[in-house]
Amino acid sequence: MIKLVISNQRGGVAKTTTATTLARLWADRGRKVLLIDTDPQGSVGMSLGLKADKFLHHFVVYNHLFESCLVHATPNIDVLCSSRETIQAEASLMGVPAREMSFSLLFSKVDEPYDIVIIDVAPSITLMQTCAMVYAQSVLIPVSMDTLSLQGAGAFSAQANQLSAELTAIKTDASVLASSPSPGNLTKLTGAIATFKSTAQPLIREMQAVCP
């Protein structure tokens, strides 16, 4: 199973677009995809035109049946949508012991039918994002072709490394650590993907002209 967090601290770099596009590409190749939105803006549901009755917080905080919280967007894509209530959900998680493990404990019980789990996160370092990173262990960073986006990617990459080191150092939930494929490197940066390349093309050409 591939589990992937799509993140950059910068907004508007095509995180949601990357998450939904990857979901579609994998689904078209016959893979069963779970797409989870943890951004309170709820952009995944909006961009796919979904009508959700229940959201992330119903599953994570109120323990509603996972299946009842999903939207079956296509035969191969199930979506757990997000809403403004995700902010309250995050506040509730703050009081939970080993809170960073919340997603690992919850989603590992329900992700078995899926080949791919993709998590879209808010453009900030939040508890939800940390939970997503601990669960997925892999992070893909969309970087639009501008300086601030690159800085956001750098900050995020540093957080991933720090998180990995901290989780390895402290005593956390033994079952989660035991089930980790690489307990010494809990959260790793899978890669970065350049977005908005077409819009940046004139700028790239200009730069090449000045410094070939």
Name the binder of 196 from ligand ADP, Mg ion, none, CB < 5-8 A by kind: ligand ADP
Query: Smallest gap, in angstroms, from Cβ of residue 48 to Mg ion?
Result: 12
Task: Using the minimum distance from each CB to ligand ADP, give the nearer residue, 71 or 143.
Answer: 143
- Applying CB under 5 A, which of residues 16, 76, 82, 86 lies at the interface with Mg ion? 16
- Applying CB under 6 A, which of residues 7, 9, 38, 43 lies at the interface with ligand ADP? 43
Give CA–CA dist 85/65, Å, rounded: 18
Tell which residue, 106, 120, 109, 27, has the closest CA to residue 60. Answer: 106
Burial status of residue 153 (CB atoms within 10 A of its CB: 0-12, 13-18, 19 or more): buried
Judge contact between 71 and 46, C-beta under 8 A: no
Tell which residue, 34, 45, 191, has the closest CA to residue 117. Answer: 34
Q: Which stretch binds ligand ADP (CB under 6 A): 6-14, 28-36, 82-90, 100-108?
A: 6-14
Site string for ligand ADP, 101-140 (x = CB under 6 A): ----------------------------------------
Task: Using the minimum distance from each CB to Mg ion, give the nearer residue, 15 or 57.
Answer: 15
The answer to whether residue 154 forms part of the interface with ligand ADP (CB under 6 A) is: no
Judge contact between 102 and 57, C-beta under 8 A: no
Judge contact between 24 and 139, C-beta under 8 A: no
Give CA–CA dist 8/45, Å, rounded: 19
The answer to whether residue 17 forms part of the interface with ligand ADP (CB under 6 A) is: yes
Q: Which stretch binds ligand ADP (CB under 6 A): 5-13, 71-79, 93-101, 202-210?
A: 5-13
